[in-house]
Amino acid sequence: MSELLQRRLALLGAPEYLSLLGGNLHGIERECLRVDDDGQLALTPHPRALGSALTHPQITTDYSESLLEFITPAETDPAVTLADLERIHRFTYAHLGDERLWSASMPCPLPDEEAIPIAEYGSSNIGRLKHVYRKGLALRYGKTMQCIAGIHYNFSLAEALWPLLQRSEGDTRPPRDYQSESYIGLIRNFRRYSWLLMYLFGASPALDAGFLRGRPHQLQAFDEHTLYLPWATSLRMSDLGYQSSAQSSLTPCYNDLASYTDSLRLAVSTPYPPYAAFGTKRDGEWQQLNTNVIQIENEYYSSIRPKRVTYSGERPIQALMARGVQYVEVRCLDINPFLPLGIDLEEARFLDLFLIYCALLDSPLLENGECRSCTENFLKTVKEGRRPGLHLQHQGRQVLLRDWGLELLETMAPIAALLDRHHGDDAHARALAAQRAKLEDPELTPSARILAEMRERGESFVQFALRQSRQHEAFFRALPLSDAERQAFEALATQSLAEQAELEAQPRGDFDAFVAAYQASIIGVAV
């Protein structure tokens, strides 16, 4: 264990400061496709009873009208966060009719691209902007890729922890800068070690053969309808999932917040010739917001992002530049198809351990090729993480994935002990032990369990995922919400519809001018 980590843990283990480790905030965003009874993509509109996808704070859509996104409030206890997520699922199921939620990250069988419905957000200018942005995604990457689903884990350490650490280390920077750079340090360490999350929680080793639309690939045939890689953990996070040749040069190494925001500002204002060839309009109809490397900040595909809650009308980069980093958004987590929520408390407990470790550990700059080796370790793990004897690059040498993983878990053990001391239980130690068992026996990983169950039952990927979807549906429908919970969700839905109607009733103004002003709002921000 490094000297810095030892000092920080000793400080936070003092009785007067131990509670700070219990002040972390957690939020979850879960994406999931709506499917019909046969497991085909539901082509129906977003259910009106769920509220407005534009203005509802907890139930919206992601890329497609068929791709739901559930958003929990931020809570200090991940158990409360998961309970929030479960209530959202139960309310949703009360209004899905004969449809159900797809249990896996990789999509169900998809219709022709033209038939996949892009999400609609109404006639207001902001609603139209959200729709045109998604049209641009379809133009640039195809609709199929946008139907992949995942889980985003939003995490922040207690706000009072940062000034304590800063004082103890004699750091004289402005507090906002110290906190921001500490989160950027967390992200650098996340880049170093996130391969471990893909090994432990990757849950997409196989996919429906139709997903590739005839594109060349190096996958193997599992059966007539399924493609896979035998040692894969997360094909979703491989080059078969989210990918963009335009973004290949946009790889911030997170050596400071300014370099990250500058790289995104450049990307949203630099034309990319292949996109310029499409133009922004065709026959007078908008088809993308602009012809730049990315249309808006959210188009940048990354496994983790620094974030700050935005004010009304404020863009994410503006918030970061004005007030610094407030939390991180982990974006590389697959949906676990064995779990009704796609994630459980054991995984959340370990994510807390992992992120606290990344925050408190020394985090030197990513230099001398380390940024590239981080990427290579990650991609190697998602495609062959369970391969016996697999080696990764670590400090200029080759090390066994298993040995490095066990070493990391050992270094996290004191953090688990502090958290359990604060909470008065052994939940984090047990979460750590469960991950240690997966490193000792790869057959315990979700990716291995999926393939094993498909083999044992003679199922294709689609048959497996549909069976799990039906089991989860039965779980949620078996216990409806209480009257008070149902009424609270109905009130949120009604309020969101009223808010959208109010937006649409206001004088709209010219949409072209609205898009131009939106684009200029980021270009003109002073560093």
pLDDT digits (tens, 9 = 90+) for 203-241: 999 999 999 998 889 999 999 999 999 999 999 999 876
- The 10s digit of each residue's pLDDT in 451-499 is 999 999 999 999 999 999 999 999 999 999 999 999 999 999 999 999 9
Strand-strand pairing, 25-35 and 151-156? antiparallel
Q: In this predicted structure, what is the pLDDT of residue 348?
A: 98
CA 64 to chain centroid, in Å, comes to 17
Q: In this predicted structure, what is the pLDDT of residue 246?
A: 65
**Percent of the chain at pLDDT exceeding 90:** 88
Q: What is the mean pLDDT of residues 314-330?
A: 94
Question: Helices 175-193 & 345-360, crossing angle to 10 degrees?
Answer: 120
Average pLDDT, the chain: 95
521 CB-near residues (< 8 Å, 6+ apart): 315, 318
> What are the backbone dihedrals phi and psi of residue 234, each rounded to the nearest 5 degrees, phi first?
-150, 85
CA dist 388 and 381 (Å) reads 12
Q: In this predicted structure, what is the pLDDT of residue 175?
A: 96
Q: What is the mean pLDDT of residues 164-168?
A: 97
pLDDT at 55 exceeding the cut of 70: yes
Q: In this predicted structure, what is the pLDDT of residue 253?
A: 65
Q: In this predicted structure, what is the pLDDT of residue 254?
A: 84
Q: What is the mean pLDDT of residues 55-81?
A: 97
- The 10s digit of each residue's pLDDT in 333-359 is 999 999 999 999 999 999 999 999 999
Q: In this predicted structure, what is the pLDDT of residue 239?
A: 85
Q: What is the mean pLDDT of residues 64-69?
A: 98
CA 162 to chain centroid, in Å, comes to 25
Q: In this predicted structure, what is the pLDDT of residue 338?
A: 98
Q: What is the mean pLDDT of residues 312-317?
A: 87
- The 10s digit of each residue's pLDDT in 25-51 is 999 999 999 999 999 999 999 999 999
Q: In this predicted structure, what is the pLDDT of residue 189?
A: 97
Beta bridge partners of 452: none
| Single-letter residue type at 302 | S
Q: In this predicted structure, what is the pLDDT of residue 520?
A: 87
Q: What is the mean pLDDT of residues 99-110?
A: 98
Rg (CA), the chain: 23
Element (H, E) at 132: helix 125-141
- The 10s digit of each residue's pLDDT in 232-261 is 999 999 987 655 666 666 666 688 899 899
pLDDT at 71 exceeding the cut of 50: yes
Q: What is the mean pLDDT of residues 255-280?
A: 91
Q: In this predicted structure, what is the pLDDT of residue 243?
A: 58
445 CB-near residues (< 8 Å, 6+ apart): 199, 200, 202, 233, 386, 438
